Structure 1
Amino acid sequence: MRKVILFTAVSLDSYIARIQGEVDWLFTDNDYGYDDFYQSIDTTLMGHNTYQQILSWGNFPYPEKINYVFSKIHPQPYHHSISFINNAIPDFVNQLKAKPGKNIWLVGGSQINTMLLNNDLIDEMILAVHPIILGQGIPLFTQPAKVTRLDLQTSQIFARGLVQMSYRLI
């Protein structure tokens, strides 16, 4: 069965972006395992706000993947690889996990992260913790997120102080 993997960068105080979605604080000097991870997936999942933020950067960065955006509205897709899903999200993700293919990247954001966590649909988390405290912003999970135990699989410390941890959800 395919795995849903939340692969994301976070600040030390667990924010994934500033309040308006800016990620100008992220390190860009190294791929921090992104390229290898990206080759291991064939599908992305994201919420509407994350999708809009990604579009604001310019060209859609995942055109060769199958992309699902969870949204109550269905704008014209930016690219033919994008489909909008607006109902029965846990059922949809369960069906997706059962289909053949590579792993599934949960891109974010907070609301979809929390929904999938609370429905036991995240299998692994790879968190790149940046050495910065933002103080406020968009959290990794919204409230209420259920108590979930994690098993540390790997950790790596990079020269600039970024720590990347890979967890399996128990």
Structure 2
Amino acid sequence: MRKVILFIASSLDGYIARTSGAVDWLFTDQDYGYADFLAGVDTILMGRRTYEQVLSFGEYPYKGIQCFVFSRTHGDGRDEHVTFISGEIESFVKGLKSGTGKNIWLVGGSEVIQSFMSHDLIDEFVISVHPIVLGEGIPLFCAPLPTRKLSFQKSRAFDTGLVQLTYFSQPVPDSEFEKI
């Protein structure tokens, strides 16, 4: 079965973008494992506002990769880069996961992440924490969320101060969780 992986960057205070949606604070001096990660996915999922932000970067970065955008305003349909999905997320994603192929990348944003969390659709969390406090912005996780125990996989620290954390969404026995 394919995995849905949330591979995302966050500020130290938990924001994925400025209030405007800008991500000018993200480190771009190296790829922080991005190229290897991208080679392992063949499907990308994101919300409409995230998609609009991606389009503002210039040339579309995900050519040749199947992309779906969840949108209440676009309805079902296509443009030159993506297929828009306006229906129920849970059954759509479960269908993708049960199919064949590489992993599935959940890019963002926070409303889509909240829906995925509510339906327990994220299998792996890879969060790159940048050493910056934004003070305000678009949060990584929007409330309300269910309580979710995660299983620590690894961490990786970079000279720039960025720390990349990887967790699996697997049940952790209560006795192990209490040790943390």
Q: Give TM class, smaller chain.
A: over 0.9
Identity %: 53
Give 4+ residue runs of structure 1 displaced > 3 Å after superposition: 75-78
CA distance in 1 between partners of 2:7 and 2:142 (Å): 17
The structural deviation recorded for 1:78 is 4.5
SS of aligned partner of 2:91: helix
Match of 1:99 in 2: 99
CA distance in 2 between partners of 1:133 and 1:146 (Å): 26
CA distance in 2 between partners of 1:72 and 1:59 (Å): 25
Match of 1:21 in 2: 21
CA distance in 2 between partners of 1:36 and 1:49 (Å): 26
- Aligned CA RMSD, in angstroms, stands at 1.2
CA distance in 2 between partners of 1:91 and 1:78 (Å): 23
Match of 2:145 in 1: 145
SS of aligned partner of 1:92: helix
The structural deviation recorded for 1:74 is 2.3
SS of aligned partner of 1:96: helix
Match of 2:166 in 1: 166
Q: Aligned residues, how many?
A: 169
* 1:59-98 to 2 correspondences below 5 Å: 59-74=59-74, 77-79=78-80, 81-98=81-98
CA distance in 2 between partners of 1:7 and 1:88 (Å): 22
Contact 1:127 1:164 (8 Å CA) reproduced? yes
Match of 1:33 in 2: 33
Deviates more, 1:114-123 or 1:67-76: 67-76
CA distance in 2 between partners of 1:137 and 1:168 (Å): 26
SS of aligned partner of 1:38: helix
The structural deviation recorded for 1:77 is 4.5
- Whether 2:117 is the aligned partner of 1:113: answer no
Structure 1: runs of 5 or more not aligned: none
CA distance in 2 between partners of 1:74 and 1:13 (Å): 32
Match of 2:125 in 1: 125
SS of aligned partner of 1:112: helix
- What do residues 106-150 of structure 1 show as CA deviations (whole Å, max 9, x unaligned)? 000000001001100000000000001111100011110111111
The structural deviation recorded for 1:58 is 1.2
CA distance in 2 between partners of 1:78 and 1:58 (Å): 16
Deviates more, 1:141-150 or 1:91-100: 141-150
